[in-house]
Amino acid sequence: MPPGTAPSTTIAADLPVQQLEVSAADGHRWRLHAVIPAEPTVCVLWLPALGIAARHYLPFAQALAARGAGVFLHEWRGHGSSSLRAGRDCDWGYRELLEVDLPASEKVMEDALGSALPRVLGGHSLGGQLASCRLALSPRTAGAIWLVGSGAPWWRAFRRAVRWWLLIASRVLPWLARVNGALPGRRIGFGGREAVGLIADWAATARTGIYAAPGLQTDLEAALANAKPTIDAVVLAGDWYAPTGSLHWLLGKMPQARVALTTLDDTALGTVADHFQWMQRPDAVAATLMGGYPHQEPARANTGRAEGFGGDADRLPPSDTAVR
């Protein structure tokens, strides 16, 4: 067991779940949930959605590990095992997540499994967005990105029924966070208790379609444009949070990426194909993502491949038909 590892726990008859202690340079502490098979073929660092604690992805981690992946579930600052909670005296934004926390988790993951295995940085919703930004900032982090139910929140990338809600939310949510010292996400049904700076960064992208973070020295848009990862993206057919148009806007920022896109519906998942239900029935998503790795299930047939989605709005699918 690597140094800093707490005693393992076990879920049902699945693989043991290790708790790996992580400390960032600014004193923030949390635990990585690690599920590692005897002979992993790939190493995955998984980033949760906004407001979701890492432990909720344990069924997904088990499904990936059963197919040969060594999986490490990152914990967002302010949630789950994190030592911090957002408030008037405790704030952060994308910069801290990208430049302080993620490098620390990457280091612990490498200490646990070494650097020889292929590495994937993946995420759900906001996690997929920040996985893309992190790999753009640090290309050596991983060779591949996995996206599930993810896409840029730019309001124009959504169908009409949603876009005006997003535009309003991008202005109201930062104000609400400032007034309360943190966003009361549980009360309003959007995220959890989120830091003022984090919501400000999210809202700026929702309004402009551009990724940026105060204090970040690197131009995120330029870094994304130069990124050359392999991307496997899963669209959930009934997911209004991250419809196809939203995903295409995110992918369009990485025109040099090699992209495989799969849409999963209710039948494929065995549950409702929305933003969250797949987390309880993750086998189809895990099989899709692991299809390209050795000694695993055959590659899926339902994959549309595109080389470098365009980054212009007129290249998006029509917003009113983005969700099918």
Domain segments of the chain as ranges: 5-153+217-321
Specify which residues 72 forms β-bridges with.
34, 45
The verdict on domain 5-153+217-321 having CATH code 3.50.50.60 is no
Positions in the chain short of pLDDT 50: 1-12, 295-324
Q: At what angle do helices 244-251 and 126-137 cross, to 10 degrees?
A: 10
Residue 293: predicted pLDDT: 78
Residue 220: predicted pLDDT: 98
Residue 306: predicted pLDDT: 34
Would you put residue 188 in left (φ > 0), alpha (ψ -120 to 50) or beta?
Answer: alpha
Residue 18: predicted pLDDT: 97
Specify the pTM.
0.88
CA 247 to CA 227: how far, in whole Å? Answer: 16
Residue 13: predicted pLDDT: 55
Residue 294: predicted pLDDT: 64
Residue 247: predicted pLDDT: 98
Sign of dihedral through CA atoms 321, 155, 307, 119? negative
Residue 161: predicted pLDDT: 85
